Chain A
């Protein structure tokens, strides 16, 4: 799966989470949006909803389930921001 396509799916997932939030609680969505990093604007429920959205999009894109939870345990650093996550997932999902 191309890294650019993955980045798009991640950004779409973040935007979907944002849409559910009150306007004054929404965060900026870009390639540099922090995910599981210090200074992240996401709270725990945002992160849970983000994971749900992204796994659903990945399933539709590649036709198989991707368990992000099993990846985050050993590769937390890859979940720091959008760009890093896309770069981390791309080779794994290409297999």
Chain B
């Protein structure tokens, strides 16, 4: 039996909206809210779902990595490599959800290793609502630490008909 969250009107009802994002070097902070959300039939009020929280963190991770690398247009795929979050307490308010991420590692793979373009890997630790939730994430960006190789990726995608 599927959980209602996975059915039509469940997960698809969640609407994430960022109020603001601030990137200061290794740290990115943001405030966001849910302009619409699913409420479980078995809970008496809203609680932030683990999957929606992950989507929020993923979005902030993308923004953070792109800003750090000086890339301002998202027309390529960023791949999450690893993700872990602990949620010991519920987040009940769909407004003013505070996200904070810190880059704890940046690594570059040169063009030619597994892919024809360079890649930059970031590892973060993060908190939601000042530590109510916390975790770690890693993601791969398809360009060098200053956006190198991005034109190659875009050309490759065009040739593959991805756009």
Residues of chain A at the chain B interface (Cβ within 8 Å):
36-37, 40, 44-45, 47-48, 51-52, 55, 68-70, 72-73, 76, 79
B82, B110, B113: most-surrounded residue (chain A CB, <10 A) = B113
B residues less than 8 Å from A47 (CB atoms) = 107, 109, 121
B121 touches A76 (CB 8 A): no
Interface size bucket, B side?
A: 20 to 34
* Cα separation A44 to B82 with both chains bound (whole Å): 10
| Contact status A51-B105, CB under 8 Å | yes
> Can you name the residue of chain A whose Cβ is closest to the Cβ of B105?
A52
- Tell whether, in the assembled complex, residue B114 and residue A44 are in contact, meaning their CB atoms are under 8 Å apart: yes
Instruction: Kindly identify which residue among A37, A40, A69, A76 contacts B107, using a CB–CB cutoff of 8 Å.
Output: A69
| CB-defined contacts of A40 to chain B, threshold 8 Å | 113
A78 to B114, CA, bound (A): 17
Q: Given contacts A36-B109, A45-B81, are A69 and B145 in contact (CB under 8 A)?
A: yes
- Residues on A with beta carbons closer than 8 Å to the beta carbon of B112: 76
A76 to B117, CA, bound (A): 13
Task: Jot down 11 A-B pairs with beta carbons below 8 A, ordered by A.
Answer: A36-B110, A36-B113, A37-B113, A40-B113, A44-B119, A45-B82, A48-B105, A48-B123, A69-B108, A73-B148, A79-B110
A residues near B119, Cβ cutoff 8 Å: 44
Which of B's residues lie within 8 Å of A, judged by CB?
81-82, 104-114, 118-121, 123, 138, 140, 144-145, 148
Which residues of A lie under 8 Å from residue B110 when comparing CB positions?
Answer: 36, 72-73, 76, 79
Residue of B nearest to A68 (CB): B107
Task: Give CA–CA (A73, B111) in the complex, Å.
Answer: 9
CA distance A45 to B72 in the complex (A): 25
Residue of B nearest to A48 (CB): B121
A3 to chain B, nearest CB (A): 22
Given A40-B113, A72-B108, 18 extra CB contacts under 8 A: A36-B109, A36-B110, A36-B113, A44-B114, A47-B107, A48-B81, A51-B107, A52-B104, A52-B105, A52-B123, A69-B106, A69-B107, A69-B108, A69-B145, A72-B109, A72-B110, A73-B110, A73-B118
